[in-house]
Amino acid sequence: METISLNGRWELRGRPQEGPDTEICLPAVVPGCVQLDLSREGYLPADLFMGENILQTEKYEEYEWWYTRTFTAPSAGENVYLVFEGVDCLAEYYLNDRLIGESRNMMISHEFPVGHLLKEGENTLTVHIRSSVIAAHYENYSVTAMMTWENAPVQTALRRAPHTYGWDIMPRAVTAGLWRDVKLEVRDSIRLSQLFFHTTSTTCTLLYEVESKWSDFKDMELEAIGYCGDSSFAVRVPLTTGKAGRVELPIKDPKTWWPYGYGEANVYDAVVRLYQGGRPVHEQTASFGLRTVQLDRTDVTDGTSGRFRFLINGVEIMCKGSNWVPLDAFHCRDAERYDEALALVKDIGCNILRCWGGNVYEQQKFFDFCDRNGVMIWQDFSMACRIYPDTEDFARQIEQEVTWVVRQFRNHPSLILWAGDNEVDMVMLAFTKPSVNRITREVIPPIIAQNDFSRPYLPSSPYISDEVYEKRPEVSMSEDHVWGPRDYFKSSFYKESRAHFISETGYHGCPSLESIQKFITPEKVWPYHHNSEWILHSSDQRGNDYRVMLMEKQVRQLFGTVPTTPEKYILASQISQAEAKKYFIERMRIGRPQKTGVIWWNLLDGWPQMSDAVVDYYFTKKLAYDYIKRSQAPFVIAADEIANWRTRIFACNDTLERKTGHVTVTDAETGEILLDTEFTANVNTSTCIGEIPLFYSDRKVLVIRWEANGETGVNHYLCGYPPFDLDWYVALMKELSV
């Protein structure tokens, strides 16, 4: 297959779609979006994230746009396709002034056969993009008042990333443009249109579909070869079953794929070829992993009798990781942030990422990284926090999207769950029984069943079944998002959650002063009270300072006072966040076997803001990053909460290797040794290895040091009731370099 890139410079024209007949013309960069082109050419500020500049993008939301470029036709005249990997959002495509197709989904790719339309020499390609906000104005909604995120006016029927209309982690930025690659592909006349490696932990069956003319489909063979270290397979068979079939791959010395902490993330690299008359006519590369995945869950729980756990290769996995949210408010810049963002995932020790339903679908590079680093992926379909239309047209859109997504990513061993949406069940709960949502109950499941029979499916996160709906509040969901009042992180709301698996929870932390100065104008850096720029970057575009003041309240809760200088306030806020995230993770680990996973919110910001992220938009780490890195290591020793005049010390061993060693717990302030003992930690469980007498009135920092199986580690625990003295805390932690 020959590929010709159409990225680079295009010409862009725009005008109000339903306004004065005034037109602007400017150069555009593809992949890109009109907002960045307008910024580059001076129609919008150079830094759209500085101060309140992002608000200026709204004046172009009602424009329609024309992208145009010329290209030279390839020499081959057949099997030529125009491929658009991401178009935002409502588009018509013209080749040499002839309409060749339309699209209305920014999150999947679109392709059009054009071989019969190309002319020799120069050809002109034009993409017309209509205004999303105007199109949404004419939508017919299935209910009079559509419940949405924070009651903001949003467009649910349009298939664009939900966050683009504004979220608590993102500004309103209703983008338009060709945001992923554009290319011409000259494809083989005989080719594989589908490849699916269906695996167990030791075997693999290759399912395939061949695309060709009937007259070409004779004397054909399929060959598949692959390697993972010294394990390999090779098979070559005649195609006797028609255009689709299956082949058992004879894998020698099979190597199983495991999540991080539980074994090697073994990935097979494969080549599949088609032969006709003994001559190779087509080749595709792919990769896969040998593993099984099971979601063992109950709809309801009282905290002990239910369950929600993932088993990989029959082994329960303690899941520890982050929600994966937009890498950038302008998604054309996502790709350039991948390397640094994914390096953080590995460094901080995540073994799971939840691809949140307000986002776009990530690219193959993301999934490839997770495959080879043992990072499990929980994939939401892109619907979040609103009631979606119950129309046949919308159902057909979702069918097309889900089919594309499943076929794109089903070969990745890291992908362990499809989830219908994010919090749509919770929104519907305010009006009706969530099970009336036929999109996630009726439309999506058969598509997954037909295209991927190797993964579980969850209709919503959290999922509210009829039993939960009818028996609440006596019963709880086995998997939940734990937000609530966002008060003290050790309050009863957090401590008494009955969920076995927490797939969202977080706590605010202020970015560094250096970072704040990059996105807040000098006169608005301090103070934060009644500060429109802090409010906007919290992220609220309606003037509500709730999240700004929430961060202050969390500082006051922990330290009893609020520092009046930016440096000290930022430090106090980051300590508050770090202790909270540490607490959430360690409580779940100590709580095994009832507790089986925590996916905290979140690793990295997609625009500069005051947020729950532990790394800001500029890749500057907050204090919580280091605390989390220790708390979710495959093996850690941690302290439980005080109860019955003591605190218990647990060895949390989320590996398949038995640990033996020695642990010492000391009072950081006095140096007194509180526990000094040998220990043994069984595989894949948490074991109480000692206890320390303590009063609730004690305010101590416990320092936990250990050696196990030849490796050393350190952790700490802040015990007692707040308020704590900020200077006391800082001095102890600095001295210990913990």
Judge contact between 307 and 227, C-beta under 8 A. no
The rounded distance, in Å, linking the Cα atoms of 378 and 297 is 15
What does the pLDDT look like over 289-319, one tens digit per residue? Answer: 999 999 999 999 999 999 999 999 999 999 9
Confidence of residue 99 (pLDDT cuts 50, 70, 90): very high
pLDDT band at 408 (very low <50, low <70, confident <90, very high): very high
**Parallel, antiparallel, or unpaired for β 597-600 and 319-324?**
parallel
Q: What's the pLDDT tens digit per position in 318-345?
A: 999 999 999 999 999 999 999 999 999 9
Percentage of the residues of the chain whose pLDDT score is greater than 90: 88
- Two tokens, residue 696: 């609730």
Query: Can you name the residues that pair with 651 across neighbouring β-strands?
Result: 637, 687
Which pLDDT does position 308 carry in this prediction? 97
Distance of alpha carbon 303 from alpha carbon 306, whole angstroms: 7
Q: Given the DSSP bridges, would you call strands 700-708 and 711-719 parallel, antiparallel or unpaired?
A: antiparallel
Q: 145: pLDDT confidence band, cut at 50, 70 and 90?
A: very low
**Cβ pair 599, 319 in contact under 8 A:** yes
Q: Are strands 80-84 and 110-113 parallel, antiparallel or unpaired?
A: antiparallel
Give the DSSP letter string of 225-275. Answer: EEEETTEEEEEEEE--S-SEEEEEE--BS--BB--TTTS-B--EEEEEEEE
Helices 566-590 and 546-559: angle between axes, nearest 10 degrees? 80
CA atoms within 13 A on the CB side of 385: 19
pLDDT at position 71 over 70: yes
User: How confident is the model at residue 77, as a pLDDT?
Assistant: 78
pLDDT bracket for residue 207 (50, 70, 90)? very high
158 has pLDDT over 60: yes
Q: What is the mean pLDDT of residues 527-547?
A: 92
> Does 139 have pLDDT greater than 80?
no
* Residue 150 clears pLDDT 80, i.e. is over it: no
Q: Is pLDDT above 60 for 146?
A: no
What pLDDT is recorded for position 563? Answer: 97
SS3 133: helix
Which of 467-476, 678-687, 711-720 shows the lowest per-residue confidence on average (mean pLDDT)?
467-476
Does residue 530 come out as left (phi exceeding 0), alpha (psi in the -120 to 50 range) or beta? left
Are the beta carbons of 583 and 491 closer than 8 angstroms? no
Q: Which of 627, 639, 734 is nearest to 686 (CA)?
A: 639
The C-alpha atoms of residue 663 and residue 651 are separated, in whole angstroms, by 10
Q: Measured at the alpha carbon of residue 686, what is the angle toward residues 680 and 692, in degrees to the nearest 5? A: 75
Cis upstream peptide for 462 (omega within 30°): yes
Q: Are 584 and 480 in contact (CB under 8 A)?
A: no
Q: Which DSSP symbol is given to 168?
A: S
What is the share, in percent, of the chain residues with pLDDT greater than 70?
A: 97
Long-range contacts of residues 263-268, Cβ cutoff 8 Å, at least 24 apart: 263/374, 263/656, 264/374, 265/289, 265/371, 265/372, 265/373, 265/374, 265/413, 265/414, 266/228, 266/229, 266/231, 266/290, 267/228, 267/371, 267/372, 267/413, 268/204, 268/226, 268/227, 268/228, 268/231, 268/233
Is residue 431 scored above 90 in pLDDT? Answer: no
How do residues 441-474 score in pLDDT, each as one tens digit? 999 999 999 999 889 999 999 999 999 999 888 8
> Which phi and psi angles does 585 have, rounded to 5°?
-70, -45
pLDDT tens by residue, 334-392? 999 999 999 999 999 999 999 999 999 999 999 999 999 999 999 999 999 988 988 89
Pairing, β 352-355 against β 319-324: parallel
Helix (H, G, I), strand (E, B) or coil at 29: strand
| pLDDT value at residue 454 | 86
Give 609-624 pLDDT, tens digit per residue.
999 999 999 999 999 9
CA distance 572 to 552: 10
How would you classify the pairing of strands 476-477 and 457-458?
A: unpaired
Is residue 277 within 8 Å of 238, Cβ to Cβ? Answer: no
Q: What is the C-alpha to C-alpha distance for residues 421 and 414, in angstroms, rounded to an integer?
A: 19
| Token code pair at residue 737 | 């370099």
- Give the pLDDT confidence score for residue 541 in this predicted structure: 79
Cα–Cα distance for residue pair 699/667, rounded to 1 Å: 10
* 223 in Cβ contact with 239 (< 8 Å): no
Q: How far apart are CA 416 and CA 258, in angstroms?
A: 12
The pTM of this model reads: 0.96
Structure confidence at residue 137 (pLDDT): 79
Confidence band for 144, pLDDT divided at 50, 70 and 90: very low
**Which residues 6+ apart lie within 8 Å of 665 measured at CB?**
639, 649, 673, 674, 675, 676, 690, 692, 702, 703, 704, 705
Q: Which domains does the chain have, with CATH numbers?
A: 2-186 (2.60.120.260), 191-288 (2.60.40.10), 635-736 (2.60.40.1930)
Residue 438 confidence (pLDDT): 95
Mean pLDDT to the nearest integer, 267-281: 96
Q: How far apart are CA 364 and CA 325, in angstroms?
A: 16
| Number of residues that make up the chain | 738
Q: What is the average pLDDT across 77-92?
A: 95
Mean pLDDT estimate for the chain: 94
Q: Which strands sit side by side in the sheet containing 90-95, from one edge to the other?
A: 24-30, 8-16, 63-72, 122-130, 90-95, 98-103
98 conformational bin, left if phi > 0, alpha if psi -120 to 50, beta if neither: beta
10-34 pLDDT per residue, tens: 999 999 999 888 999 999 999 999 9
Burial grade of 430 (CB within 10 A; 0-12, 13-18, 19 or more): exposed
Q: Where are the strands (E) in 22-180, listed by range?
A: 24-30, 63-72, 80-84, 87-88, 90-95, 98-103, 110-113, 122-130, 177-178
Confidence of residue 733 (pLDDT cuts 50, 70, 90): confident
Half-sphere exposure of 216 (CA within 13 A, CB side): 14
Contact, 458 vs 419, CB < 8 A?
yes
Question: Of 337, 314, 329, nearest to 360 (Cα)?
Answer: 329
How far is it, in rounded angstroms, from Cα 567 to Cα 562?
A: 12
Which pLDDT value is given to residue 738? 57
Closest CA to 176 of 107, 89, 101, 58: 89
Whether the bond into 89 is cis, omega within 30 of 0: yes
